[in-house]
């Protein structure tokens, strides 16, 4: 959508958009769940760990609800398969053997209380230390 098209976009009738503010359609996941969607528990840059498996990671993106393939979801054992209607986190993850990218439901994550440094090589490319033990997205990488 070009800038002129954005400026002409019409908000829903019951929404007031102040002058100078561009009305943009909501992403499908947000529009579908509307005000019933809960807020993400973990922020981008937060160090978290998995509740059931031995890995931890830094959050670098959040989906408000499940946004992966059905095949991926069905590959999770049914007894621990998460609900789809919750935030899912993209992590720069690491375990004792390797570093990788993980996609994890909110119900399976908790804050990592260790002060261990994160060794994932992509962390320093995408994030910068925030001075309080966490990370923030480097300027210019936010979309």
Kindly state which CATH superfamily the domain 38-137 is placed in.
Answer: Hemimethylated DNA-binding domain (2.30.30.390)
Is 0.75 surpassed by the pTM of this model? no
Residue 13 has pLDDT above 50, yes or no: no
Supply the pLDDT for residue 29.
42
What is the residue-wise DSSP string for the chain?
A: --HHHHHHPPPPTT----TTPPP-PPPHHHHHHGGGPPPPSS-TT-EEEESSSS-EEEEEEEESS--S-HHHHHTS-GGGPPPSSS-EEEEEEE-SS-EEEEEEEGGGEEE----PPP--TTHHHHEEE-SSS-EEEPTT---
The full set of domain ranges for the chain reads 38-137
The mean pLDDT value for 11-35 works out to 42
Tens of pLDDT along 56-92?
999 999 999 999 999 999 998 898 899 999 999 999 9
């Amino acid at each position: 959508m070009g800038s002129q098209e954005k400026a002409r976009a019409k908000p829903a009738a019951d929404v007031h958009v102040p002058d100078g503010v561009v009305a943009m359609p909501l992403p499908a996941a947000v529009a579908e769940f509307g005000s019933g969607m809960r807020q993400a528990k973990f922020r981008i840059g937060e160090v978290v760990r998995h509740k059931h498996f031995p890995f931890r990671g830094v959050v670098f993106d959040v989906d408000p609800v499940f946004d992966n393939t059905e095949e991926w979801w069905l590959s999770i054992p049914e007894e621990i398969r998460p609900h789809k209607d919750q935030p899912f986190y993209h992590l720069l993850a690491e375990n004792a053997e390797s570093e990788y990218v993980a996609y994890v439901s909110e119900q399976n994550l908790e804050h990592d209380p260790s002060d261990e440094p994160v060794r994932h090589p992509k962390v320093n490319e995408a994030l910068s230390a925030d001075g309080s033990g966490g990370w923030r997205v480097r300027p210019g990488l936010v979309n």
